[in-house]
Structure 1
């Protein structure tokens, strides 16, 4: 009997950790259907074609997507739904990041890129915005976990310190990260993400959703501040609020 293909919809999968994860999955005997978003679809398609994966087993569709432009996000979402038809999504991977200093403007002038003063493009804060944005993302993961209770499992994953992704290229500390004792390779980081697809030991505590790069469920005291539901709500504006702010609704 043929193995049923699993469907993965992913952002941030055309380079770095995301690309490596898809590469590893394309080498498996388990068939996959990928729907990916990319800024440059032609370059992304060429990169995946270069893997010479088994097209009779796996399928891969790439649609245009610029995550900092809500119009393309909406278009990508609709194209994905059209492509899926009545099929379900087995895994939704929200993986993407940029590493820029806060004195630089946010792309497309969107205030939704950075919500507070220190995180807004052009704020010129001396503090690192990377850690702050990770904090906000974890707030969002908890918010989605609350909204999607009993419908799907939400897991936040730390892939570890991966200098090979070049995410630290704007920080001035790239060389230091390479020699850090906790540094991991890109393939190891991809495996950390893959664990979230395969783990069946989800803690009973609904607030314990953070999987570390060591394969452990992080205790809540490590990220206790993100458990504040008021903060989760504040940093998770509704679809209607975002679309109105971006001028996509009247």
Structure 2
């Protein structure tokens, strides 16, 4: 039985994406890869009740731990039929307050939002079949031209993002910049991976869910900010604020991009508001793409025998 893997599927957009897939991918096993196993198991039960899909499971996955990611892929390889028809890298967060680090010593935002998904994807590549898809959830905040009110991204190098200098700048501005930069990294990764997989007939795309009220993203904010953001985002949804969508709408779009036969010709694109559009100028910067690729391999310690992609090609 082929599998669909979704990270961060226990709530919000990820949950709605899994729900949509459970209604359409009747003969696939759907794996909800979640850091919080309790909420992940609850999500599985809800989806089973709503759809009747029997082949849903929750597997533990902490993207802030290379060991956890490696174990996830080892467990997947042990399945009777370890074949992936869609990999959806959706999990991520904005981490406020004092700079925190992953178990491997990387800055938490970059380590979780980029390195975790990068490492997971490269380790799972040998199991992703021809005609399948890899999708990275990004965000409109990656593009300064969108004027989102969030600090714009600043890309220098992967290692500088993994091991940033401690700064006296305001905590919110720093956290926002790290988040928007990690979302730029998601698109840079999607584009260069698309190029490296040319000829293998595996689709690689980036997805922008828009502003979605009530998602898990808000839970990474301090309580006062979370309450304010939640109230404002619901008002934006009510009065038609541009780029604001329900979790159900964005989740359905994510599932459609990743799995629908209607969009199987889309490859190497940025999907926003349910359509193909241009991402930021920086996201097409080939120097940025190459640097991030090289540094991500070095930071994760990925070895050639762990993936089926030639890591030496630039």
Counterparts of 2:235 and 2:104, CA distance in 1: 36
Secondary structure at the aligned position of 1:14 is classed as coil
Residue 217, structure 1, aligned to residue 279, structure 2: no
Deviations 1:149-187 (A, max 9, x none): 122010111111102204135173513333221321110
Say whether the 8 Å CA contact 2:61–2:69 is kept in structure 1: yes
Question: Aligned-pair RMSD on alpha carbons?
Answer: 3.0
Which residue number in structure 2 is paired with residue 248 of structure 1? none
- Which residue of 190, 194, 218 maps to 2:251? 190
Cα 1:194/1:243, change in 2 over 3 Å? closer
Q: Which residue of 1 aligns with 2:100?
A: 105
Higher relative CO (Cα under 8 Å, sequence separation at least 6) belongs to: 2
Q: Which residue of the partner structure matches residue 60 of structure 2?
A: 64
For 2:8, which of 1, 5, 12 is the aligned residue? 12
Structure 1 stretch displaced more, 192-201 or 50-59: 50-59
Q: Which moved more, 1:189-198 or 1:121-130?
A: 121-130
Question: How many corresponding residue pairs?
Answer: 234
- More helix, by proportion: 2
With structure 1 as the length reference, what TM-score do the two structures score?
0.79
2:194 to 145, 149, 168: 145
User: Which residue of 299, 302, 313 corresponds with 1:242?
Assistant: 299
| The one of 287, 305, 314 aligned to 1:230 | 287
SS in 2 for 1:143: helix
Structure 1 spans left out of the alignment, 5+ residues: 246-250
Deviations 1:7-27 (A, max 9, x none): 201211122211121122223
Question: Could you give the per-residue CA deviations for residues 116-171 of structure 1, whole angstroms, max 9, x where no partner exists?
Answer: 65774954543422222111111111121122112201011111110220413517
Residue 39 of structure 1, CA deviation = 1.9
The structural deviation recorded for 1:200 is 2.9
- The verdict on how the C-alpha distance between 1:32 and 1:141 changes in structure 2, with shifts beyond 3 A counting, is same
Identify unmatched segments of 5+ residues in structure 2.
111-157, 303-314
TM-score by structure 2 length? Answer: 0.65
